[in-house]
């Protein structure tokens, strides 16, 4: 590609950036504030330092326009609710009394007030706080955060671009508030919301903002004509404002489809479009729409969600085509870099050759800058970068790690019979009831128990050499004994060993499977102050030796009650890793499933009668377009069955899912053929139980009655009320009683009290059942 004058103005930018800081300073400051060890001013200073550091790093790398407003103490959708005054009535007094504490109360709840519902941000593992709206909602503009952060960056000499969640996406992500009549659609509030956005835009313009980015990722999903008309109306009105900054409407995570011509025709000044997740779709659609004459195009050609290096030649070819479709083409990642870790250079334990295949946020920023330079100056301006990039791509393609003949031969030999249980569910259920002898409404937990300070200290001491492996294992045994003792005293029916030996539900297994790489500093925000380190799925997968049998067998030796074996399912092992992009996902899932099948069979052989294979990411990974659902669900459900179908009829297979919308995948949940499923239900008031009933789901289910993502302790009466709602949808002989999710992030005092109340609620409801049912 040679230099083209039309590209002379090409600039580098990003939509957003990780918030936590290099050493998770934000997490530590916020949690310190919650515990009273850090005051509000110190928290605010820490946040300001992190913002300044991010802007400085971006500017020094060559990014011409830095994002502002994407920083958040907890969640950017919650920030939007505050910006537009959509504070639930139950939280208004707290917000008026102290804005910061009220903000955290909306996110986490208090002992007396429930938080906002939380669910997944499109098909990512990031969680957002769901806005609660109703026909009586009154919006009021509060642009203080957005204006203040813009002014911060401006004062430091940067060129800032405020980033806001767009009004259409905000309403499409919202739900009807509790008590609102069925059928209410938040999008009907658009005409009421747009003047508030106009006021926010005016405030940013008055502060000096030249451009404002409005994120509309909901438009890459299937949208009705009415929803597309609403988007057209929204941007027709905002674009017509007399006193406004220039508007850049951003989409990401896929193909805009019918929404692209709507946005292309809107009186806005630019579009930011994803050219990685959509394949050639957005490029073809943009050409078909006649391009963006007179407008700016921000081209997302660097994958903002995965960690593999960019293919410069491929990206430059795309950018070169785009030059003829817009007046100005700038270069960016496909979405906010919130979804990747900060800096691959911090990973000193990864083979240097393999490390060169990786690009975290800092490296992606450098890639964006290189591509902008190449777009403006031609390939000669980046010749050395291109040569190094070609060498790194070739190194990865030819590495032995990526191709294990034994693994590939085994997956090629899979037959349909490998994914089917030997008996249908009714016969299995009878065998399991006889074998396990559980009461009606059996109680259990999801798997993990609190990771105590003592346990984390022991893990750190082992890494530092202050204790040896034998000393560490004694600490693990002590923790398992304590967890089992508590559960027995509390009256829980099916026990767990608490997972004290595990760092993370995916990373723990990834570290024991071939083909995976573990990072030391690759933290990514999941929700609030919860950060995870997704492993890197780099090559073909196999299991060299048992992973969980030893500790599960030890736990079972301490009790007569059944102890669940706990595994993470194949879809979640992919979804919560940075998955390889050089082969179909279904093929990778089958490799992981076969490794897990070996583990399931070994657990059963060791005497484990209940085995839980968690798949919380099954719904999260569902493609955003309905046309792609069937193909995904086929390999996703097949991989689960492949992992679990080799056991005897009297071995009970559980699965677990949480914090997603399940109504559109109930058939897939049925297709898993698990004997028991536990699901999040407390914040959504048993909605999932009703969805299972509407489908006619025939197996056992445990819709959660304890919201573990809030520090509040549910009372016995509250849990019992949820159980009664559950019984309206699921008969007692098929209803389990459990929390929404694992207890790893909770403290012991709240865990003890909450589980004791959960068991008391189950006993209370058992006593209310007819004699024949009880």
Question: Annotated binding site for 5-methyltetrahydropteroyltri-L-glutamate: which residue ranges?
Answer: 24-27, 120, 576, 620
Q: What is the DSSP string of 287-336?
A: HHTT-EEEEEEEEEEE-SSS-BPP-HHHHHHHHHHHTTTEEEEEEEESS-
Residue 698: partners with Cβ closer than 8 Å, 6 or more residues away: 425, 670
DSSP conformation class of 12: B
The H or E element spanning position 52 is helix 40-61
Cβ atoms of 240 and 267 closer than 8 Å:
yes
Q: Point out the catalytic residue in the list 76, 158, 521, 709.
A: 709
- Cα distance between residue 192 and residue 86, in whole Å: 12
The angle that helices 716-727 and 748-768 make with each other, rounded to 10 degrees, is: 50
Provide the 10 A C-beta neighbour count for residue 348.
9
In the residue annotation, 64 being an active-site residue is answered as: no
Q: What's CA 587's distance to the chain center, in Å?
A: 22
- Cα distance between residue 311 and residue 333, in whole Å: 13
Nearest to 60 by CA among 299, 312, 366, 403: 366
| Residue 128 phi, psi (nearest 5) | -120, 160
Distances (CA, A) of 59 to 12, 48, 480, 487: 10, 17, 50, 54
Cβ atoms of 133 and 174 closer than 8 Å:
yes
E-only strand ranges, 84-242? 118-120, 127-129, 132-133, 160-165, 175-176, 211-215
Radius of gyration in angstroms for the set of CA atoms belonging to the chain, rounded to a whole number: 26
Half-sphere exposure for 318 (CA within 13 Å, toward CB) = 29
Nearest to 269 by CA among 212, 199, 230, 219: 212
The H or E element spanning position 654 is strand 652-657
Residue ranges for the binding site for L-methionine?
A: 446-448, 499, 614
Identify the bridge partners of residue 118 per DSSP, sorted by sequence position.
129
Residue 516, helix vs strand vs coil: strand
Residue ranges for the binding site for Zn(2+)?
A: 656, 658, 680, 741
Q: Tell me how many helices (H) and strands (E) the chain has.
A: 28, 20
Cβ atoms of 640 and 570 closer than 8 Å:
yes
Reduced DSSP (H G I as helix, E B as strand, rest coil) percent helix, strand, coil of the chain, to 5: 45, 15, 40
- Cα distance between residue 589 and residue 71, in whole Å: 34
- Cα distance between residue 324 and residue 597, in whole Å: 52
The H or E element spanning position 567 is strand 564-568
Residue ranges for the binding site?
A: 24-27, 120, 446-448, 499, 576, 614, 620, 656, 658, 680, 741
Q: What is the DSSP string of 356-417?
A: TTB--HHHHHHHHHHHHHHHHH-GGGGHHHHHHHHHHHHHHHT-GGG--HHHHHHHHT--GG
Residue 62, helix vs strand vs coil: coil
- Cα distance between residue 25 and residue 531, in whole Å: 12
Cβ atoms of 585 and 634 closer than 8 Å:
no
* Region of 126 on the Ramachandran plot (φ > 0 left; ψ -120 to 50 alpha; else beta): beta
Instruction: Look at the block and give the residue holding tokens 């078909």.
Output: 288
- Cα distance between residue 651 and residue 647, in whole Å: 6
Provide the 10 A C-beta neighbour count for residue 422.
12
| Residue 310 phi, psi (nearest 5) | -75, 150
* Catalytic machinery residues: 709
């Amino acid at each position: 590609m040679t230099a083209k004058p039309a590209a002379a103005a090409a600039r580098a930018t990003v939509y957003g950036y990780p918030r936590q800081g290099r050493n998770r300073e934000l997490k530590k400051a916020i949690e310190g504030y919650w515990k009273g060890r850090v005051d509000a001013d110190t928290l605010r200073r820490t946040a300001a330092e992190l913002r300044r550091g991010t802007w400085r790093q971006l500017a020094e790398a060559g990014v011409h326009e830095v994002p502002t407003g994407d920083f958040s103490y907890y969640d950017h959708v919650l920030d939007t609710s505050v910006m537009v005054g959509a504070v639930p009535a139950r939280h208004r007094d707290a917000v008026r009394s102290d804005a910061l504490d009220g903000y955290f109360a909306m996110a986490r709840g208090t002992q007396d007030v429930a938080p906002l519902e939380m669910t997944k941000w499109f098909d990512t593992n990031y969680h957002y706080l769901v806005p609660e709206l109703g026909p009586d909602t009154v919006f009021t503009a509060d642009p203080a955060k957005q204006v203040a952060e813009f002014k911060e960056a401006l004062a430091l000499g940067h060129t800032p671009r405020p980033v806001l969640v767009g009004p259409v996406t905000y309403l499409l992500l919202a739900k009807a508030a509790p008590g609102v009549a069925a059928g209410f659609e938040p999008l009907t509030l658009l005409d009421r919301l747009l003047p508030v956005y106009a006021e926010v835009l005016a405030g940013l313009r008055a502060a000096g903002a030249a451009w404002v980015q409005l994120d509309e990722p909901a438009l890459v999903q299937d949208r009705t004509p009415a929803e597309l008309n609403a988007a057209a109306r929204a941007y027709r009105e905002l674009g017509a404002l007399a006193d406004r900054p220039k508007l850049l409407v951003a989409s990401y995570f896929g193909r805009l489809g019918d929404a692209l011509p709507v946005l292309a025709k809107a009186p806005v000044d630019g579009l930011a479009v994803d050219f990685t997740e959509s394949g050639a779709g957005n490029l073809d659609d943009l050409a078909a729409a006649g391009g963006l004459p007179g407008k700016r195009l921000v081209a997302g050609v660097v994958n903002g969600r995965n960690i593999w290096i960019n293919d410069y030649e491929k990206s430059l070819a795309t950018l070169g085509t785009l030059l003829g479709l817009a007046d100005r083409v700038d270069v960016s990642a496909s979405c906010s870099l919130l979804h990747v870790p900060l800096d691959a250079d911090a990973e000193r334990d990864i083979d240097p050759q393999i490390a060169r295949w990786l690009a975290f946020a800092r490296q992606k920023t450098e890639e964006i800058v290189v591509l902008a330079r190449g777009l403006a100056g031609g390939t000669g301006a980046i010749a050395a970068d291109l040569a190094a990039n070609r060498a790194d791509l070739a190194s990865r393609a030819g590495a032995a790690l990526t191709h294990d003949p034994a693994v590939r031969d085994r997956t090629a030999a899979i037959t349909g019979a490998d994914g089917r249980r030997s008996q249908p569910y009714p016969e299995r259920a009878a065998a399991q009831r006889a074998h396990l002898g559980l009461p009606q409404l059996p109680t259990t937990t999801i798997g993990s128990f609190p990771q105590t300070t003592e346990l984390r200290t022991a893990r750190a001491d082992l890494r530092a050499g202050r204790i040896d492996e034998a000393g560490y294992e004694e600490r693990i045994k002590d923790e398992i004994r304590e967890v089992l003792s508590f559960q027995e005293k509390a009256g829980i029916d099916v026990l767990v060993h608490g997972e004290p030996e595990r760092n993370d539900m995916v990373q723990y297994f990834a570290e024991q499977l071939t083909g995976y790489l573990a990072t030391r500093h690759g933290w990514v925000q999941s929700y609030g102050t919860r950060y995870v380190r997704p492993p890197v799925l780099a090559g073909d997968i196999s299991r060299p030796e048992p992973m969980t049998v030893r500790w599960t067998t030890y736990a079972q030796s301490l009790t007569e009650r059944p102890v669940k074996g706990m595994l993470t399912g194949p879809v979640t092992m992919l979804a919560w890793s940075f998955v390889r992009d050089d082969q179909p996902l279904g093929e990778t899932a089958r490799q992981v499933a076969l490794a897990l099948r070996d583990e399931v069979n070994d657990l059963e052989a060791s005497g484990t009668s209940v085995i839980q294979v968690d798949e919380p990411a099954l719904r999260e990974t569902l493609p955003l377009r309905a046309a792609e659902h069937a193909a995904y669900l086929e390999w996703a459900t097949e991989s689960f069955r492949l992992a679990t179908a080799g056991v005897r009829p009297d071995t009970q297979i559980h699965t677990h899912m949480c914090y997603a919308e399940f109504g559109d995948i109930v058939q897939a949940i049925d297709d898993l053929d698990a004997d028991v499923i536990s699901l999040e239900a407390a914040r959504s008031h048993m909605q999932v139980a009703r969805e299972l009933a509407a489908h006619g789901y025939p197996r056992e289910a445990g819709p959660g009655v304890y919201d573990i993502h809030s520090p509040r302790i549910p009372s016995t009466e509250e849990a019992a009320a949820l159980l009664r709602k559950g019984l309206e949808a699921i008969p007692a002989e098929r209803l389990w009683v459990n929390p929404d999710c694992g207890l790893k992030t909770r403290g012991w005092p709240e865990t003890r009290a909450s589980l004791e109340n959960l068991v008391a609620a189950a006993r209370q409801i058992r006593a209310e059942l007819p004699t024949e049912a009880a």
